Structure 1
Amino acid sequence: MAIQTVGIIGAGQMGSGIAHVAAQSGYQVLLHDISGDRIEKGIATINGNMARQVSSGKLDESVRSRAMSSIRPAPAIQDLAGADLVIEAATEDETVKRKIFTQLCPVLNPEALLATNTSSISITRMAAQTDRPERFIGIHFMNPVPLMKLVELVRGIATEDFTFEAAKAFVVSLDKTVTVAEDFPAFIVNRILLPMINEAIYVLYEGVGSVEAIDTAMKLGANHPMGPLQLADFIGLDTCLSIMQVLHDGLSDSKYRPCPLLVKYVEAGWLGRKAGRGFYDYRGENPVPTR
């Protein structure tokens, strides 16, 4: 099927990033969130990011202007009725996602495709809660979406070939590279990445090294562009914990047990960059380790 209008649910970091690349690639974009202020903030973020692309010579002003004019606020779920593809990019909480699909499906065109940007939750299980499991697929973008080239495509057990091919063509049209993952907890990237981050938190928890020592060791000793604790703050410690819980519950292996220190930070509300504090304190001029 021809995808022309893309609905995006969630105007946060991931949703606004997906809206950015979709609009830049010529799609009409409908951006929905439960808060009108969040939609406005998301569109402002996209505009600011595109303006930086223009100033650095990576984007023509004409493309920026056309892309911004193709993004429309969709404050009510009913405003997504005309979308050919809707991508859910809400918080990594299955209960929240199921509620969204329950509200969304009755207003969608029966032919419309439905996707989730989940980074860890079962595609098959979520698809089964909708009225179109054969038209449901996981399209997992990496953060930050405008910069990261990879997208994981994940089929549920009921996903039909036409849905997969349409989703693949859509991702390729965004100038992204597709990797296909089976529907197992956390798929490929996070199945490998999050246990590494969790282990780094255990190293901190056990006193083997400080925040600064751990991040320096992995940057200079393993040639990682960002230390694992800095990366955890960037992802969001609540998201890291959610993914580790999905892995632990889904695979029943003690090696995926979330580190108690990660749980403590989330309980404290120290969720990383977005909260101003995580393994680093971001409230000053420069980030300072909190341990």
Structure 2
Amino acid sequence: MAESLADYSLKRTIKKTKDGGLKKVGVVGCGNMGQQIVRLISQHGLDVVFIDLSAERIGEIIKEIEASLDKVINKWGLTESEKRAVMSRIKGSTDYNEIKDCEMIIESINIKKRGSSVPYRMDVFKKIESVVSEDTIIASNNATLMISDLASVLRHPERAVGLNFITPASKVKIVEVIRGLQTSDSALDFTVRFVKMLDKRPITLVESPGNISTRLFVPLINEACELLMEGVASVSCIDETMKLGFGLQLGPFELADRVGIDKVQKWMDNLYLEFGTDKFKPSPIIKRLVRANLLGRKVSRGFYNYENEKIISQAINVIEFNL
């Protein structure tokens, strides 16, 4: 069951439901991470309305979420009846009016073009604010952008909060919660309580490009690429060193494949543009893989080869990138 927000004595006035707390969340943009967020919210007993571009795409998203739940069922992590309950709380639409009664909206659009996604996200923020009430929290799920930039287009910028769900959202135990320059205490407090409802630990921070996680991850993957290009070690040896030696769940190359190498490059581009230091500049390996559309697990090849989303072999030999 969803944890009641009534117990937290929030300053923000929220709409009361029969259980006295938050009941409905909107998600705008339902790519890979958007789907993970939708599923996570629904699995914790909340209704979710997601917005995407077309009825056809909405149908595809529903099928993709169902398929992801089927994988959990196959691992004895969910029953068929629980799956039906989760899916019953999920609704998709192309109409922003469908999210007007949500207590929180999470923008999670996925722009595939290179370059800044800020103008697109600003447009989404304006569309959201045009239909929701004045006390609805508007959050943006992203890894490298500044929430204050997005909030600048709002009539009520104090309601804007940054979020960063880390993939895989169902397993990673933290969510970064980011305060912008004008974010109110009550909006931040409400968002922290929302994250706790999802059984996640909120990591609160003041906005900075890359937050904590991405700002640390990007130099790690770049340095791993340097080791590979220098011929120091193989992809698998570098990953095993970080997993077995330092206790990471995934090595840098596995994580890049999981996130999507194109997304990793976008993170690097954004951080390099912001800070101008070489540690954030995309490695030549990253650029080559993106140009070749070898984007990681989602296309079955990146730093590793995949079959049914499982690693079967490393895809890159040291000599290939020994510059």
TM-score, scaled relative to structure 1: 0.90
Q: 1:9 aligns with which of 28, 45, 50?
A: 28
Query: What corresponds to 1:289 in structure 2?
Result: 315
Count of residue pairs brought into register by the alignment = 291
Q: 1:287 to 1:105 in 2, by over 3 A?
A: farther
Query: What corresponds to 1:34 in structure 2?
Result: 53
Could you give the per-residue CA deviations for residues 38-83 of structure 1, whole angstroms, max 9, x where no partner exists?
3333323333343444565544655433322111111223332222
Counterpart AA for 1:66: A
Q: 1:55 to 1:260 in 2, by over 3 A?
A: closer
Q: 1:237 aligns with which of 261, 286, 293?
A: 261
Separation (CA, whole Å) in 2 of partners of 1:188 and 1:177: 14
Could you give the per-residue CA deviations for residues 97-125 of structure 1, whole angstroms, max 9, x where no partner exists?
22322333222223221001111111111
Query: What corresponds to 1:203 in structure 2?
Result: 227
Q: Which moved more, 1:242-251 or 1:44-53?
A: 44-53
Separation (CA, whole Å) in 1 of partners of 2:124 and 2:45: 26
Query: What corresponds to 1:112 in structure 2?
Result: 136
Could you give the per-residue CA deviations for residues 220-239 of structure 1, whole angstroms, max 9, x where no partner exists?
33333322112101111111
Separation (CA, whole Å) in 2 of partners of 1:120 and 1:31: 23
Separation (CA, whole Å) in 1 of partners of 2:216 and 2:141: 18
Q: 1:281 to 1:126 in 2, by over 3 A?
A: same
Q: 1:269 to 1:58 in 2, by over 3 A?
A: closer
Q: 2:276 aligns with which of 235, 252, 262?
A: 252
The answer (yes or no) to whether the contact 2:34–2:109 under 8 Å persists in 1 is yes
Q: Report the CA distance between 1:283 and its aligned residue.
A: 6.1
Q: Give ranges in structure 1 of 5+ residues lacking alignment.
A: none
Could you give the per-residue CA deviations for residues 106-157 of structure 1, whole angstroms, max 9, x where no partner exists?
2222322100111111111111122321100012111111222111100100
Separation (CA, whole Å) in 1 of partners of 2:186 and 2:301: 44
Asked if 1:194 corresponds to 2:213, the answer is no
- Determine helix, strand or coil for the equivalent of 1:282: strand
Alignment of 1:149-228 (within 5 A): 149-228=173-252
Separation (CA, whole Å) in 1 of partners of 2:167 and 2:292: 24
Separation (CA, whole Å) in 1 of partners of 2:196 and 2:155: 27
Query: What corresponds to 1:273 in structure 2?
Result: 297
Separation (CA, whole Å) in 2 of partners of 1:289 and 1:268: 13
The answer (yes or no) to whether the contact 2:235–2:314 under 8 Å persists in 1 is no
Separation (CA, whole Å) in 2 of partners of 1:50 and 1:275: 20
Asked if 1:77 corresponds to 2:103, the answer is no
The answer (yes or no) to whether the contact 1:11–1:38 under 8 Å persists in 2 is no
Query: What corresponds to 2:4 in structure 1?
Result: none
Root-mean-square deviation (Å): 2.3
Counterpart AA for 1:17: Q
Query: What corresponds to 2:43 in structure 1?
Result: 24
Separation (CA, whole Å) in 1 of partners of 2:127 and 2:292: 32
Could you give the per-residue CA deviations for residues 16-57 of structure 1, whole angstroms, max 9, x where no partner exists?
111112112221110111133433333233333434445655
Counterpart AA for 1:34: L
Q: 1:165 to 1:225 in 2, by over 3 A?
A: closer
Separation (CA, whole Å) in 2 of partners of 1:21 and 1:191: 25
Identity level (%): 31
Separation (CA, whole Å) in 1 of partners of 2:81 and 2:154: 39
The answer (yes or no) to whether the contact 1:277–1:283 under 8 Å persists in 2 is no
Q: 1:283 to 1:58 in 2, by over 3 A?
A: closer
- Determine helix, strand or coil for the equivalent of 1:231: helix
Q: Which moved more, 1:44-53 or 1:237-246?
A: 44-53
Separation (CA, whole Å) in 2 of partners of 1:184 and 1:236: 22
